[in-house]
Structures are given as structure tokens and as C-alpha cells.
Amino acid sequence: MDNKNIDMTLNESFVVDAKGKKVSVILPIKDYQKLLEELEELEDIKAYDNATKRNQEFIPLDEALKEIAAARKKKQ
């Protein structure tokens, strides 16, 4: 798997309360969309890593489809 560096420069603005504490952030929509894309990619990587950790047995597609069809017939 390729390790790619996430190089994002955000042009954020902050909303502060009366004491000057940051309470919210405002991002340009393009930055927000890019942030969501990067988050989705990281979630995919995490799901892949979790899937490869498990000890799984794989079966051929045609066999899986036959098992699914047989299970559906039993429900009818």
C-alpha cells in the first residue's frame, strides 16, 4: 500500500467567544470537501487494515453465489 503524505494547507477562520476562546471554525468549501475526502480515505485504510488482521477463509465467487441462492430458497 502506498504511503502518501497528506499535504493540506487550510485557510480556516475561527469564531471566538467573549473571552477569546476558539469555539468554531470556518473553512472554505473546497478545503472542507478535501478534508472529507482525506477522512474517507483514512477510513478505507483503517477498514482494510482491520479486514486483513482477521483470520478468514475465502471461497470462490461461484460457490458463494450458490450458497446465497440455496439460503434464499430455504426462506421461501
For the chain, what are the domain ranges? 13-75
Residue type, 15: V
pLDDT digits (tens, 9 = 90+) for 19-49: 999 999 999 999 999 999 999 999 999 998 9
Full-model pTM: 0.54
Measuring CA to CA, how many Å separate 34 from each of 2, 6, 21? 19, 10, 26
The pLDDT value recorded for residue 30 is 94
Core vs surface per residue 40-72: b (16+ CB within 10 A) or e: eeeeeeeeeeeeeeeeeeeeeeeeeeeeeeeee
Q: What is the largest CA-CA distance in the chain?
A: 67
| pLDDT value at residue 5 | 58
What confidence score (pLDDT) does residue 1 get? 42
